Amino acid sequence: MEKHHIESILKDLDIQSVNYGATTGTTWGRIHTLGKELVSYSPVTGQPIAGVVQAQAHDYEAVVSKAGAAFEKYRMMPAPRRGEIVREIGNALREKKQRLGALISLETGKIRAEGEGEVQEMIDIADFAVGLSRQLYGLTMHSERPFHRMYEQWHPLGIVGIITAFNFPAAVWSWNALVAAVCGDVVVFKPSSKTPLTAIAIQNIIAPVVDKYDIDGVFNLVIGNRAVVGDTLLQDRRIPLVSATGSTAMGKKVATTVAARLGRSLLELGGNNAIIVTEDCDMNMALRATLFGAVGTAGQRCTSTRRIIIHNSIKDRFVQQLVNAYGQIRIGDPMDPYTLMGPLIDDTAKQVMMQAIEAARDQGATIVYGGTALTVEGLENGSYVTPAIVEAENHYPIVQEETFAPILYIIGYDTFDQALALHNDVPQGLSSAVFTSSMKYQEQFLSHRGSDCGIANVNIGTSGAEIGGAFGGEKETGGGRESGSDAWRIYMRRQTNTINWGDDLPLAQGIVFDIKGEEK
């Protein structure tokens, strides 16, 4: 990757050699601190990209105080007007799609097509949120009392804390921030310490819109370590909702800390996603879905395909064709349009993958393909690996875990009931799929006794969900729902209203309560 190309990307997104990690969203509202510098290293080259001066405790306090003051004004703005702001944010993202996509690739290691695809997802969410701004519907219902009217309405919640993971440093922000914005909320964004530059670029892109509408304090960013920023945000009673994306272990801490102050948490955690491949499937479709699901983003998606549960009658043929396909995957510089798989996020992730491969081997699994460290010419310091195909049993401890790396476990079955039991027999419950030509298998998979995941697909892989549906999972995946459908409700508070327009005061349930003892 040419140095001048990297410099061009950073310049176009107003990324300096040293950036400030606290801002209230406006061009002029950046908070300058003297905190410890955080350096963002590219997994592509292993070299530093730029540094960020991290926020300190007083920076966090300044940002949250500004957010609280902004909320008092912003929540009174009509929702369609808030939608207009989000529409302009979407347009600003359109203008910077290629550059922001390139930065995402540079900072996360995902291929350029996936980087730009992530920005497109932000744009799609903006479009969705604009329409949503005129559809924050409540309900009316009939009262049991005469001359009474009942209805429910939704009000803005307040400050929403957003904690994101490195693998989708931009899209997950948009799922939360843009939907919350049309709901009348303000946000405080704490990005992963592995991808701070993408967060700064987002703030730079939206800053002119913030200036234009005088909404300083609505979109806030605080970059800092867990002790100074992360834990403080979780414990902050001024933040009624914390949306967190990450590992199950992280989510348990978020849930317990926020619950201790009776706050809300929206959790998108680990996945151990499987595709059931039946004996009557379209083999070509199943292979293509497996390839993208297991190898896309180097296996670092929460929806990555981690298990293939396949009928024993076709398992050997499927595995052989999958090995042939894996052998054609071009691994290397994600900025190269011919590359299909970039690096892992860092050397720690590489070590975790190697340890998982060794554990699988020790537990009785067979390594069919890959699973080794890889040196790419010209990018010797990058965190590259070969994706692994491993024949294993579902009950192996390592198979029960989520390893955030391109490891695909092959598990055979004989009956569809057995396949469903294997599918559901993991702690996680995010995404799932079945490839079949049988309507019976399809409907069983989607029935009450089928997939126990939040996402269940037929003849579509586990990865690459559209924004129109609610995204999230069950069990140790956290139970949260973001993005489309009615996921907007988590960012608002419900209020039930009853209006008495008569001349009497009847009580519900026919209760008589008269201080004079007179019967009505």
For the chain, give every domain's residue range. Answer: 3-268+486-494, 273-466
How far is CA 172 from its chain centroid?
A: 4
Q: What is the pLDDT of residue 6?
A: 87
- Asked if residue 363 lies in contact with residue 356, where contact means CB atoms within 8 angstroms, the answer is no
Q: What is the number of other CB atoms lying within 10 angstroms of the CB of residue 310?
A: 27
Q: What is the pLDDT of residue 11?
A: 93
- Using DSSP's 3-state secondary structure scheme, residue 421 falls into helix
pLDDT tens profile 287-338: 999 999 999 999 999 999 999 999 999 999 999 999 999 999 999 999 999 9
pLDDT at 352 over 50: yes
Q: What average pLDDT score do residues 15-21 get?
A: 90
Please give the C-alpha separations between residue 149 and each of 62, 139, 145, 387, 431, in angstroms, as whole numbers: 44, 11, 9, 62, 42
Query: 29 falls in which pLDDT band (50, 70, 90)?
Result: confident
What top-level class would CATH report for the domain 3-268+486-494? alpha beta
The fold of the 273-466 domain, in CATH, is Aldehyde Dehydrogenase; Chain A, domain 2 (3.40.309)
Q: Indicate the average pLDDT of the chain.
A: 96
Give the separation between CA 425 and CA 307, rounded to whole angstroms.
Answer: 12
pLDDT at 267 over 50: yes
DSSP-assigned beta bridge partners for residue 18: 51
Catalytic residue list: 268, 302
Least confident of 1-15, 84-98, 116-130: 1-15
Structure tokens, 324:
């042939």
Query: 454 falls in which pLDDT band (50, 70, 90)?
Result: very high
Q: What is the pLDDT of residue 465?
A: 87
Give the separation between CA 119 and CA 291, rounded to whole angstroms.
Answer: 23
Give the separation between CA 13 and CA 96, rounded to whole angstroms.
Answer: 8
pLDDT tens profile 457-504: 999 999 988 999 999 999 999 999 999 999 999 999 999 999 999 999
pLDDT tens profile 121-173: 999 999 999 999 999 999 999 999 999 999 999 999 999 999 999 999 999 99
- Asked if residue 115 lies in contact with residue 458, where contact means CB atoms within 8 angstroms, the answer is no
pLDDT at 2 over 60: yes
Q: What is the pLDDT of residue 33?
A: 65
pLDDT tens profile 229-238: 999 999 999 9
Q: What is the pLDDT of residue 520?
A: 46
177-180: long-range contacts, CB 8 A cutoff, minimum separation 24: 177/219, 178/86, 178/89, 178/90, 178/122, 178/125, 178/126, 178/129, 179/125, 179/128, 179/129, 179/132, 179/482, 179/483, 179/487, 179/488, 179/491, 180/491
pLDDT tens profile 379-426: 999 999 999 999 999 999 999 999 999 999 999 999 999 999 999 999
pLDDT at 4 over 90: no
Q: What is the DSSP string of 360-414?
A: HHHTT-EEEE---EEPPTT-TTS-EE--EEEE--TTSHHHHS--SSSEEEEEEES
Predicted TM-score (pTM) of this structure: 0.96
Q: What is the pLDDT of residue 308?
A: 98
Query: 34 falls in which pLDDT band (50, 70, 90)?
Result: low
Q: What is the pLDDT of residue 204?
A: 97
